[in-house]
A and B are shown apart, each in its own frame.
Chain A
């Protein structure tokens, strides 16, 4: 059997992934990425890749009797993930740091180091599937619709696909827990990690204040306006807002208002009613394709938020930017978020980052 390098975060999913590979008879090597300095993050135990995660991964590896190593990727992670996260918020967008981590840090690092350790394949505990066929490899949604993580993997270099294994993608979360319990893995009852690993408190404003100058426009007060220009309030920094958000706008409006847009140039946070959230054209940049890119005129499905349903639409244009005309208007399309393109319900074609969304004024 082949030698497989499996990324173990210390959570239950990657623990079971490693166990399944061992059961299948692979020569398995476990690794945990040390992604950032944990000083001053008292809540680190809740995160997927905190120091406790390293300990748990080591315990699982020891129980499975496989070697386990820690890859120190702090420098790359800071540059490619944390700095990107901060600079996206600084211009009013809402990033998906897990996407940058997977595509820039985690998987390339696994591939390179795996090669050095003589590994043929790379595995992780993501809820996705890969199909290796004569016509190449495809990335598919995980079988558990509640856990599917294909949204976070569109940006991976295409040439990596043939090397990837996702053992838990065929299982549901409940099945994964059952396997972990049956194997008496110490991570069997570990709670889900919800927050971004380097913002364990969930309050990313602290991080922005630490990494941007205090006088950065993103952190300064600015007007809350309606689309018609009416000023309806003041905010304490547009970095605190994302499209679709209701919280933090202050109250006293005659109807519920939502963030429609963040305008970094003028520090305006634009708000409006729920109906105003809907747009029917989305522009996507920073594209990456895992299959042949779709042609203009073809119908695709685009997922624009984690766990949101995909919307169907028509490819209008594809060069550096992909423009999709949505079949139905879609609410709260957010610049900076990943837009993942599926050819049907299952297979990831590729993706990009939403650069803008708007409603086409029909004649």
Chain B
């Protein structure tokens, strides 16, 4: 039987339209956009088109789009760059993050705090997806705040109340960033509709190339660069531009917005189907964030009575490609800080994340659910006393 890929939240294949759009930039239009000759001009034109396309997909202006080399870089630039700008003005900035942020925000915040560069405040998120808004207001009242909250959580799919947070932050004169890496293409994400200051997007979660991303920075937002060099991206992200990557990202974003409504509706149906099947077939299983509003592509299950690492390996051997909390750096699957934040450090469940994409089918999900149930039953049997 063919293996089933249900790890689209980890990464996606590059779609044909994106690949086709990129190819000329890898061959004939290979120039450096900064060069003053025809090769350079051609590349600059492609880059400028890509910027306009990406801006349109987000409801931004091209001048507000800064291409980066991925989501991690965009997140780091957003939270470190804005707090650094505040510090440059002689303020001691406060960086407010939620308890379920991606490591790209979470660890950057921790590191900057321990280096004495900022004060860090962590807002609790409940399993129902609510954020501690009283605490947010309290901190905002003290001034000099940057707030970073992900739009859709990568491990559980929980949607955080970004529009409401943006209202509060902007009313208090703070700066608001959102990591929209998992949200873009699955929910309407528009910086025109939601007056946020900064927003991160990456290409490889939306059928674009890996190593591509952007940071939206609203005009007038104070931000300092983390890298220094040739002044590209208006000196906020120097380094010779990856034109092919930018074109790939922009194409994926354009298609992502065009198809978002249809794709989300289809994924939502599949997600409900998968969750119904699994909760029916596997006794005593929890849908992580099941009471919260969630993105249509992530179903995370908490399974008691099994070891998480063993479960993932056994599923892989059966041809089901899923992940633990999230895909992890060195290949090991440690405990998830997100699940711990939602359900406590001593939560006894193993986490398995199924994430769906545009190629997922009902048949695949049925097969995955049945295999999942068989494997869980077998592993629970091995653990049972006697």
Interface residues of chain A, those whose CB is within 8 Å of chain B, are: 29, 34, 51, 54, 58, 67, 69-72, 113, 115-118
The reply to whether B334 and A72 form a contact with Cβ atoms under 8 Å apart is: yes
Residue among A72, A115, A118 with max Cβ neighbours from chain B (10 Å): A72
Q: Mark B71-82, 1 if CB is under 8 A from A, else 0.
A: 000000000000
Residues in B whose Cβ lies below 8 Å from that of A117: 310, 313-314, 317
Interface size class of B (residues with CB under 8 A): 10 to 19
Residue among B307, B313, B379 with max Cβ neighbours from chain A (10 Å): B313
> Nearest CB to that of A113 among chain B residues?
B310
Interface of B is mostly: helix
> Nearest CB to that of B313 among chain A residues?
A69
The reply to whether A70 and B332 form a contact with Cβ atoms under 8 Å apart is: yes
User: Residue A71 contacts which of B309, B316, B379 (CB distance < 8 angstroms)?
Assistant: B309
Interface residues of chain B, those whose CB is within 8 Å of chain A, are: 307, 309-310, 313-314, 316-317, 330-334, 378-379, 382
16 contacts between A and B (CB under 8 A): A34-B330, A51-B330, A67-B316, A67-B317, A69-B309, A69-B316, A69-B331, A71-B332, A72-B332, A113-B307, A116-B307, A116-B314, A116-B379, A116-B382, A117-B314, A118-B317
Residues in A whose Cβ lies below 8 Å from that of B316: 67, 69
The reply to whether A34 and B332 form a contact with Cβ atoms under 8 Å apart is: yes
Interface of A is mostly: mixed
Residues in A whose Cβ lies below 8 Å from that of B379: 116
User: Residue B330 contacts which of A29, A54, A116 (CB distance < 8 angstroms)?
Assistant: A54
> Nearest CB to that of B310 among chain A residues?
A116
Cβ distance A117 to chain B, nearest Cβ, rounded Å: 6
**Please, how many angstroms separate the alpha-carbon atoms of A72 and B330 in the complex?**
10
- Contacts A72-B309, A117-B310 given: A54-B331 contact, CB under 8 Å? yes
Residues in B whose Cβ lies below 8 Å from that of A34: 330-332
Residues in A whose Cβ lies below 8 Å from that of B309: 69, 71-72, 113
Residues in B whose Cβ lies below 8 Å from that of A54: 330-331
> Nearest CB to that of B316 among chain A residues?
A67
> Nearest CB to that of A58 among chain B residues?
B331
**Please, how many angstroms separate the alpha-carbon atoms of A245 and B314 in the complex?**
49
The reply to whether A72 and B333 form a contact with Cβ atoms under 8 Å apart is: yes
Cβ distance A259 to chain B, nearest Cβ, rounded Å: 40
The reply to whether B382 and A70 form a contact with Cβ atoms under 8 Å apart is: no
**Please, how many angstroms separate the alpha-carbon atoms of A103 and B314 in the complex?**
24
Residue among B309, B332, B334, B382 with max Cβ neighbours from chain A (10 Å): B332
**Please, how many angstroms separate the alpha-carbon atoms of A310 and B99 in the complex?**
59
Cβ distance B374 to chain A, nearest Cβ, rounded Å: 11
> Nearest CB to that of B312 among chain A residues?
A69
Residues in B whose Cβ lies below 8 Å from that of A51: 330
**Please, how many angstroms separate the alpha-carbon atoms of A115 and B313 in the complex?**
12
Residue among B330, B333, B379 with max Cβ neighbours from chain A (10 Å): B330
